[in-house]
Chains A and B, each alone.
Chain A
Amino acid sequence: MNSILKVNNLNIAFGINEVIHNISYHLNKNEILGIVGESGSGKSVSSLAILGLLPKKISKITNGSILYNGDDLTQLNSKAFQKIRGLKIAMIFQEPMSSLNPSMACGDQVEEILLQHSNLSKKQVKEETLTLFEKVKLPQPERVFNAYPHEISGGQKQRVMIAMAIACKPDILIADEPTTALDVTVQKDIITLLKDLQAQTKMSIIFITHDLALISEIAHRVLVMYKGEIVEQGEVETIFKNPEHNYTKALINSRPTLKTRLKILPTIQDFLNDSISDEIITPAERQKHHKKLYSKPPLLEVINVEKEYLTKSGWFTKPQHFKAVNNVSFKLYEGETLGLVGESGCGKSTLGNAILQLDKATTGSILYKGTDITKLSKKETRVLRKEIQIIFQDPYSSLNPRIPVGEAILEPMKVHNLFNSDVERKAQVIEILNKVGLSEDYYNRYPHEFSGGQRQRIGIARTIALQPKLIVCDESVSALDISVQAQVLNLLNTLKIDFGFTYIFISHDLAVVKYMSDQLLVMNQGKIEELGDADIIYSDPEKEYTKKLIHAIPKGL
């Protein structure tokens, strides 16, 4: 009898809609259990049920039991739950920014939990809190103790969250996507920390994530969830080396790997139809392609571009200058993909916006086909918009919710007077919809009727409706699930061949950027850290920062 938590035949329904279908699993003592699945697979819902945190009015556990040390948690009332939450079973959430109370100092928030659940005196509580902060390896625990959440970084906030979670030495720690909102280098630190803590305290951890490679680095055992069911569970080694279910196979393979460059990434559909193509682009082919690309004059030339922000803290203090982009120069050739990679806040999106003229650069010039676009008038800029386009990150907020998608794609053509009549334009819209893999029946539907992947396709359709030359993809696949991500990446590559687009591909995800790019540009604190062929930078990084970045990517098994 080694298991501490046992979930038996659990069913959960939201209204009449059942989201969790008959799942059973157990958690052993002194073990890290990984739950992996895409958004909507029910991985978070099933773990919220353990703590009784499901929204009461709309959701219901229809069947099954959750046994913790022999007690059925589904039968507990909210009073009894308070004794378990935080004390026996603790939880860390995805967003450290919003899960700490912004009006309380970090130390107080940890103390609060200790005061609630233990009999220690005030002084002891403070000492305990400081030891906890040391335990989670916070630099200068004394400073963090008195600091407010906005005064410390995202990674530090997550550490405070972990300190709060382990304050009462719980038996079980549930970590729900604890590193998704963080940069890769920070993610690595947090993962190491969680592993160390687990080894020290011998507690059990349920680690929920959508990232398979990440879970392979931390978990002992893995559950794969898909559409509310557990499709596979077992030891990490077996799941990764010999996946049995098609979905698991797809999940492992649809992420671009760092070793080889496939022509087409496999999607779940491919695995179900057994139509995987494993054609790869060989280095020789790539070199030949590059030779052709770089013989032409550059399409876009960025020369010493700087973007400065003024931060004013008080009435009498001098405004402080902050350079988001600092002296950046590079050349972009027609038909190539430039990967722009860096951690959050490094200025990669600001640079993208400067090229798009959405945010004017402070100094420097940007030459597009030889003309400096930073000096264009408002009217001329509007004409230029036809040539340089953007694909956004968030497919949910980049479409106007009140305009049917067909109209949304047709509108830019109308504004820029492409084609002669609305009839012609409509025919063109339908052609584009087909190109991005959507049928013409969707013409009159509204954005909220589509899934995330479909919306991203609509966003791409709207972008290519103007037949631009240069497209800036600003984290265009970051918000998508892995399997959908593969589809969209494939689509982007097909469109590139069909229409001859040039991409600037901005992302924090090195694996994706490397798969897509010809040239790679690594940015750090507004400056170019390294610039060169993607493969060369990856295999032989020169700068310390680049090495650290590449090293931090979860490699998987």
Chain B
Amino acid sequence: MSQKTNSLKQLALQKFKKNFWGVLSFYFIALVGLISIFAYVFAPDNSQYANQMHLAIHSKQPGFKVQMLTIPSKITMNQSLIDRVFFGRKNTNTEVPISEYTITEDELVYKEFASDGLQGAEKELKLNIFPNNSPKEYIEHKTFLFGTDKYGRDLLSRVLVGARISFFIGFVAVLISLIIGVTLGSIAGYFGGKIDALIMWIINVTWSIPTLLLVIAITLALGKGFWQVFIAVGLTMWVEVARVVRGQIISTKEMQYVTAARALGYNDFRIITKHILPNIMAPVIVISAANFAAAILIESGLSFLGIGAQPPMASWGAMIKDHYNYIILGKPYLAVIPGLCIMSLVMAFMLIGNALRDAFDVKS
């Protein structure tokens, strides 16, 4: 006899695999996930927060090329490889965009880059500050694929590093919302009565406060910053999860296999965790995907308002905030590129949520 088993989970997975947009979104999200983890490996500017500024070449168009002179710093940083890969190089080298240079016996003479037809100042450097007295290795052509922002930082690197915030905020917020929401929702739904009334009251109160206001309140209470936003968004999202879980549990509770579990003498914890929760995971997963997308949007909104991630940290929302007035100044790409990033990631999560919902729908 065949030993093959078809659990509902596997059936749902098979169905999901057939959904083109779902699978595409899944790969896109996986790609963004990888990028956000290894952002500093991919980014051309791997300094911490991609924060290498060159004010002379601020807000240049995508594909801008320039010669770049790196002046090595005398301070040497002792940074481990892991630290550098995951958190960026704590760089102290100075980078100077130049238009031309000559090397004399003991000096490097270069002309600073200046845009809009201006002449840059000519400066000279002693050759002995370069190792081996050869400055050639320190002068190279640099291309800014996405152009530069208003501080002359590489926009591509900022976008890559900024993906990390967007991605992790979704992750942490969904995790927090699941822990609180599933726990409270199950307790309310399973036990009912006064406990249910109390939890529903908390839910309704939290629900009635506009999300953005609540996040602002929480950020103010916990202080500004990266982690505070994560927690704040998570604390506002559990409400939705709790409501869905509660509703699902109330209807699943009436199923005969739950009565059967009670008749077999299982305790409440076992019934909830082993017999009810696995059966209501589908809507919870779907709402988590939507929450993921919503968290990204809320974070962008908060960063745009200036209470999200703080400079110099790169965040898509903050990038739009920095550059939205360039939209009418003929340099829309500075705001449009991070905007497109937010849109595509949110859309991927929405599509994956839809695909999951279809896959979990066992009826058809």
A and B physically associate: yes
Does the CB pair A466–B6 fall under 8 Å? no
User: Bound state CA distance, A385 and B270, in angstroms?
Assistant: 15
Size bracket of the A interface: 35 or more
Taking CB as reference atom, which chain B residue is nearest A447?
B257
Does the CB pair A400–B6 fall under 8 Å? no
Cβ-defined partner of B260 (8 Å) among A390, A439, A441, A445: A390
Does the CB pair A462–B260 fall under 8 Å? yes
A389 sits at the interface (CB 8 A): yes
User: Distance (Å) between the CB of A236 and the closest chain B CB?
Assistant: 38
Partner-contacting stretch, out of A134-142, A258-266, A335-343, A391-399: A391-399
Does the CB pair A385–B263 fall under 8 Å? yes
On whether A415 and B260 interact (CB within 8 A), knowing A439-B1, A446-B8, the answer reads no
Interface flags for A391-416 (1: CB within 8 Å of B; 0: not) read 01110011111111000000110011
A383 sits at the interface (CB 8 A): yes
User: Which residues 238-258 in B have Cβ within 8 Å of A in the complex?
Assistant: 255-257
User: Which residues 1-17 in B have Cβ within 8 Å of A in the complex?
Assistant: 1, 3, 5-9
User: Distance (Å) between the CB of A203 and the closest chain B CB?
Assistant: 36
Does the CB pair A401–B279 fall under 8 Å? yes
Does the CB pair A392–B259 fall under 8 Å? yes
User: Distance (Å) between the CB of B176 and the closest chain A CB?
Assistant: 26
Taking CB as reference atom, which chain B residue is nearest A441?
B1
A382 sits at the interface (CB 8 A): yes
Does the CB pair A400–B257 fall under 8 Å? yes
User: Which residues 254-278 in B have Cβ within 8 Å of A in the complex?
Assistant: 255-257, 259-267, 270, 274-275, 278
Does the CB pair B7–A385 fall under 8 Å? no
On whether A444 and B8 interact (CB within 8 A), knowing A402-B279, A412-B264, the answer reads no
User: Bound state CA distance, A400 and B262, in angstroms?
Assistant: 13
Cβ-defined partner of A415 (8 Å) among B255, B266, B278: B266
Q: Give the number of chain B interface residues (Cβ < 8 Å).
A: 24
A104 sits at the interface (CB 8 A): no
Q: Which residues of A contact B262 (CB under 8 A)?
A: 358
User: Bound state CA distance, A397 and B258, in angstroms?
Assistant: 9
Q: Which residues of A contact B274 (CB under 8 A)?
A: 403, 411
Q: Which residues of A contact B259 (CB under 8 A)?
A: 358, 392, 398
A449 sits at the interface (CB 8 A): yes
User: Distance (Å) between the CB of B321 and the closest chain A CB?
Assistant: 46
A356 sits at the interface (CB 8 A): yes
Taking CB as reference atom, which chain A residue is nearest B260?
A398
User: Distance (Å) between the CB of A411 and the closest chain B CB?
Assistant: 8
A448 sits at the interface (CB 8 A): yes
A26 sits at the interface (CB 8 A): no
A469 sits at the interface (CB 8 A): no
On whether A449 and B6 interact (CB within 8 A), knowing A356-B263, A389-B263, A415-B265, the answer reads yes
Does the CB pair B6–A444 fall under 8 Å? no
On whether A382 and B263 interact (CB within 8 A), knowing A400-B257, A446-B5, the answer reads no
Taking CB as reference atom, which chain A residue is nearest B7?
A446
User: Distance (Å) between the CB of B193 and the closest chain A CB?
Assistant: 14
Cβ-defined partner of A399 (8 Å) among B3, B257, B265, B267: B257
Does the CB pair B7–A404 fall under 8 Å? yes
User: Bound state CA distance, A336 and B9, in angstroms?
Assistant: 43
Does the CB pair A416–B265 fall under 8 Å? yes
Does the CB pair A392–B265 fall under 8 Å? no
A360 sits at the interface (CB 8 A): no
On whether A444 and B278 interact (CB within 8 A), knowing A356-B263, A462-B264, the answer reads no
User: Which residues 340-373 in A have Cβ within 8 Å of B in the complex?
Assistant: 356, 358
On whether A441 and B3 interact (CB within 8 A), knowing A356-B263, A385-B264, the answer reads yes
A386 sits at the interface (CB 8 A): yes
Most chain B CB atoms below 10 A, which of A358, A384, A401, A466? A401
User: Which residues 402-437 in A have Cβ within 8 Å of B in the complex?
Assistant: 402-404, 411-412, 415-416
User: Distance (Å) between the CB of B169 and the closest chain A CB?
Assistant: 31
User: Distance (Å) between the CB of A373 and the closest chain B CB?
Assistant: 13
User: Distance (Å) between the CB of B261 and the closest chain A CB?
Assistant: 8
Interface flags for B272-297 (1: CB within 8 Å of A; 0: not) read 00110011000000000000000000
Cβ-defined partner of B265 (8 Å) among A386, A397, A398, A449: A386
Q: Which residues of A contact B278 (CB under 8 A)?
A: 400, 402-403
Q: Which residues of B contact A392 (CB under 8 A)?
A: 256, 259-260
Q: Chain B interface secondary structure, helix, strand, loop or mixed?
A: helix
Contacts between chains A and B (CB distance < 8 A), count: 78
Taking CB as reference atom, which chain A residue is nearest B261?
A400
Q: Which residues of A contact B267 (CB under 8 A)?
A: 382
User: Distance (Å) between the CB of B104 and the closest chain A CB?
Assistant: 78
Does the CB pair A402–B9 fall under 8 Å? yes
User: Bound state CA distance, A358 and B279, in angstroms?
Assistant: 22
User: Bound state CA distance, A412 and B257, in angstroms?
Assistant: 13
Taking CB as reference atom, which chain B residue is nearest A398?
B256
Q: Which residues of B contact A444 (CB under 8 A)?
A: 3, 5
Q: Which residues of B contact A358 (CB under 8 A)?
A: 259, 262-263
Most chain B CB atoms below 10 A, which of A393, A400, A439? A400
Does the CB pair B260–A404 fall under 8 Å? no
Taking CB as reference atom, which chain B residue is nearest A386?
B265
User: Distance (Å) between the CB of A403 and the closest chain B CB?
Assistant: 8
Taking CB as reference atom, which chain A residue is nearest B259?
A358
Taking CB as reference atom, which chain B residue is nearest A388?
B263
Most chain A CB atoms below 10 A, which of B9, B257, B261, B270? B257
Does the CB pair B5–A402 fall under 8 Å? no
User: Bound state CA distance, A508 and B3, in angstroms?
Assistant: 40
Does the CB pair B263–A390 fall under 8 Å? yes
User: Bound state CA distance, A393 and B256, in angstroms?
Assistant: 9
Q: Which residues of B contact A356 (CB under 8 A)?
A: 263
User: Bound state CA distance, A404 and B278, in angstroms?
Assistant: 13
Q: Which residues of B contact A394 (CB under 8 A)?
A: 256
Cβ-defined partner of A402 (8 Å) among B1, B8, B266: B8
User: Which residues 51-99 in B have Cβ within 8 Å of A in the complex?
Assistant: none
User: Distance (Å) between the CB of A360 and the closest chain B CB?
Assistant: 13
User: Bound state CA distance, A188 and B347, in angstroms?
Assistant: 59
User: Bound state CA distance, A356 and B264, in angstroms?
Assistant: 10
User: Bound state CA distance, A466 and B262, in angstroms?
Assistant: 14
Does the CB pair A400–B275 fall under 8 Å? yes
User: Bound state CA distance, A441 and B263, in angstroms?
Assistant: 27
Q: Which residues of B contact A386 (CB under 8 A)?
A: 265
User: Bound state CA distance, A444 and B264, in angstroms?
Assistant: 21
Q: Which residues of A contact B279 (CB under 8 A)?
A: 400-402
Taking CB as reference atom, which chain B residue is nearest A393?
B256
User: Distance (Å) between the CB of A431 and the closest chain B CB?
Assistant: 18
Taking CB as reference atom, which chain B residue is nearest A57?
B364
User: Bound state CA distance, A109 and B356, in angstroms?
Assistant: 40
User: Distance (Å) between the CB of B64 and the closest chain A CB?
Assistant: 55
Does the CB pair B257–A398 fall under 8 Å? yes
Q: Which residues of B contact A399 (CB under 8 A)?
A: 257, 260
Taking CB as reference atom, which chain B residue is nearest A416?
B265
User: Which residues 259-296 in A have Cβ within 8 Å of B in the complex?
Assistant: none
| List of 9 A-B pairs having minimum Cβ-Cβ separation, nearest first | A385-B265, A441-B1, A398-B256, A382-B265, A412-B264, A397-B256, A402-B278, A400-B257, A390-B263
8 contacts between A and B (CB under 8 A): A384-B265, A385-B264, A392-B256, A393-B256, A394-B256, A398-B257, A401-B8, A402-B7
* Interface residue ranges, A against B (CB under 8 Å): 356, 358, 381-386, 389-390, 392-394, 397-404, 411-412, 415-416, 439, 441, 444-446, 448-449, 459, 462, 466
Beyond A402-B278, A449-B5, 12 additional contacts (C-beta under 8 Å) are A383-B265, A386-B265, A392-B260, A397-B257, A398-B259, A398-B260, A399-B257, A400-B278, A411-B274, A412-B265, A444-B3, A446-B8
* Interface residue ranges, B against A (CB under 8 Å): 1, 3, 5-9, 255-257, 259-267, 270, 274-275, 278-279
